[in-house]
Amino acid sequence: DIQMTQSPSSLSASVGDRVTITCRASQGIGNYLAWYQQKPGKVPKLLMYGASTLMSGVPSRFSGAGFGTDFTLSISSLQPEDVATYYCQKYNRAPLTFGGGTKVEIK
C-alpha cells in the first residue's frame, strides 16, 4: 500500500507568517490528494481536493500544490483561527490513506 508521510508533525509560527506543510506519497498518486483541517474537538473540514482546488468558502490564504509524490499545503498569512491539525489524504484508489497530521500552533 502507498504510505502518506506528512512533515513536520507540528509547527509553531507567528501570526502573519507563511506556513508550508508537506505530504509525500510513497508512490505516485497523480493529483488525487485532499487536505483537511481539524480544529480541537471538531470534525474534520475538507479544505481542498485535486491537490489544489479549494472548497467553497475556504479563505484564499490557503493554497495547495503538487503532483505525483510530493504535495504542499501553504497558508500565506497565518491567522489565529488557523490553529488546527492538518491532514492529507490520497484518493486515487483504496486504501484512502490519511497522512499522520501536522499540528499548527501560534507562537
Residues forming contacts to other proteins in the complex (CB under 8 A) are 1, 34, 36, 38, 43-46, 49-50, 55, 85, 87, 89, 91, 94-101
With beta carbons less than 8 A apart as the criterion, state whether 3 and 95 touch.
no
Closer residue to other proteins in complex, CB, 18/30: 30
Cell numbers placing 104: 499548527
Cβ-based nearer residue to other proteins, 17 or 91: 91
Residue number with CB closer to other proteins (17 or 92): 92
**Shortest Å distance, C-beta 45 to other proteins:** 7
As measured in angstroms, the least distance from the Cβ of 23 to other proteins is 13
Largest distance between two CA atoms of the chain:
38
Judged by beta carbon, residue 15 or residue 46, the one nearer other proteins is: 46
* Strand-by-strand arrangement of the 53-54 sheet: 10-13, 102-106, 84-90, 33-38, 45-49, 53-54
CB of 14 vs other proteins, minimal distance in Å: 26
Look up residue 74 and give its amino acid: S
Q: 506519497: which residue's cell? A: 25
